[in-house]
Every structure is written in structure tokens, then in C-alpha cells.
Amino acid sequence: MSDVEIELNPVDFVTIGTIGPKGQRVFYLQAGYNNRLVSLVIEKEQSWALSEAINELIDDLDQRYGDTEDEEITLDGIDMELREPIEPVFRVSQMGLGYDEDQDKIVLVAQELVPNRSDDSPLGSIDGDGEQAGIVRLWCSREQMRALSAQAITTVESGRADPKQNGRLVYYWT
């Protein structure tokens, strides 16, 4: 728990990547601005859910404000690799997306996982030690978010082909 509050507006890059062998991978959400690098630990399911939420938001924005890009995003020629050093600020509990019409930017908000918080306490509440959960805000263009969504799905799908092997040994008897 860290009382961290970081805002990168705008980001130079944003990506999702992993470190470790299949079945033991650690997922990271990473962004940077100038010389500032922010890495956050996320779960595989959060990566997939973030991709879905980004697609939904961008589809809505394209309908409301006009499509800025008609074709499907490809990651060819875009550097979506994690940058070194990978020193996570915190593990993410929850993420949310918002849109600022004046800036035409999407904000990705990530909140720190606070293990001692009770299930019924609101976001941003103070834990038992008096520390507030850390928060990171990443301001991105629609194009950056489209690329992030594509990268997130690619990263999730690059794991094991058989989900029964996801870190568990399963015995079957017939």
C-alpha cells in the first residue's frame, strides 16, 4: 500500500506484456511519458476484460463523434514490447475507462489492490493503516487504446492452448 497517485497526460506509449514461461506468466500494464516509466501488475483476466471494455468504448465514441479509423488495427510496425526496467508500482485491483471530449483522450484509471480492505468499502477508501490505495491515470489517444486492446488479446491468446493446463494439475479417472 503506497499512497501513490500518478498521472501521465498524455502517454508516449501504453502496452500490456508478460514475463515468465507459459503457465507462470506475470502480466504487466505499462506506460511511459518522457523519462517516466510506470509498470503495474495485472491479472490475465483483467487484460482480456480491458481489451473488451476498450473496444466497447471506442465503438461508442466512433458512433458519437465520428470514426477516426475504419480499418482493423494491426500491431505491425508498432513497438508494443515492455520497456526495462520493469519495476511494478503496485498490483491492480480495478480499472476503469473514461473519455475527455475536450482533449479527445481516453483515460485509463488503475487502482491498487489493498488486501486488508473490506469487500463493502468504496473505491479509494483508506485501509486500516491509514494509507489510501494507489491510483494511476493514463491519458491515451484512441489509436493508442486500439493498439492496447489488440496487444492485450494477443498477449492473452499467446498462453497455453489448453486452458485445463493453466497452472493446475488435473487428474481424470474413467
Per residue in 60-88, pLDDT (tens digit) is: 998 988 765 555 555 666 789 999 999 99
Q: With b meaning 16 or more CB within 10 Å and e meaning fewer, what string describes 113-133? A: bbeebeeeeeeeeebeeeebb
Cα 106 from Cα 31, distance rounded (Å) = 14
Interacting residues of 108 by C-beta distance below 8 A, sequence separation 6+ = 14, 50, 95, 96, 97, 137, 138, 140, 145
Tens of pLDDT, residues 8-27: 999 999 999 999 998 899 99
The pLDDT, as a whole number, for residue 91 is 97
Percent of the chain with pLDDT over 70: 75
CB-based contacts of 164, cutoff 8 Å, min separation 6: 170
Distance CA 82, CA 47 (A): 15
Residue spans per domain, the chain: 5-165
Q: Is the pLDDT of residue 174 over 50?
A: no
Residue 75: predicted pLDDT: 61
Give me the architecture of the 5-165 domain, per CATH. Answer: 2-Layer Sandwich (3.30)
Residue ranges of the alpha helices (H) in the chain?
Answer: 44-65, 142-157
pLDDT in tens, 121-156: 555 444 455 678 999 999 999 999 999 999 999 999
Q: Any idea which of 56-60, 61-65, 163-167 has the lowest mean pLDDT?
A: 163-167
pTM above 0.85, yes or no: no
